[in-house]
Amino acid sequence: MPSLEAALGEPLEPRILWLDPQAPSGYVRDWHAPGISPLRHFSYAIQWWCFAALALLSWTVMTLRARAGRA
């Protein structure tokens, strides 16, 4: 509450309003955030980790071939 009061620049009443779970009207209680599922972000991260591994492997192979060519 203190940080919210500081951000708003107004004093706030220390009260919380709870909705009755048995009330037929009111806010939707089974709410899911809109947007892409977290699993899609996970697969995107795997794609970039594979790209980084491939880049490291390519750099290693090219470095070893260059050293072998000099010897």
DSSP assignment string, 1-60: -HHHHHHHTS------PPPPTT-SSSS-SS----S--HHHHHHHHHHHHHHHHHHHHHHH
The verdict on residue 32 lying in a domain is: no
The verdict on residue 3 lying in a domain is: no
Band of the pLDDT at 70, cuts 50, 70, 90?
confident
Instruction: Note the pLDDT of residue 15.
Output: 85
Long-range pairs of 31-34 with CB within 8 A, sequence gap ≥ 24: none
More reliable by pLDDT, 35 or 63: 63
Domain residues for 67? 37-71
The verdict on residue 47 lying in a domain is: yes
User: Would the pLDDT of 69 be above 80?
Assistant: yes
The whole model's pTM is what?
0.46
Which residues, 6 or more positions from 4, have their beta carbon under 8 angstroms from its beta carbon? 12
Band of the pLDDT at 10, cuts 50, 70, 90?
very high
Share the mean pLDDT of the chain: 86
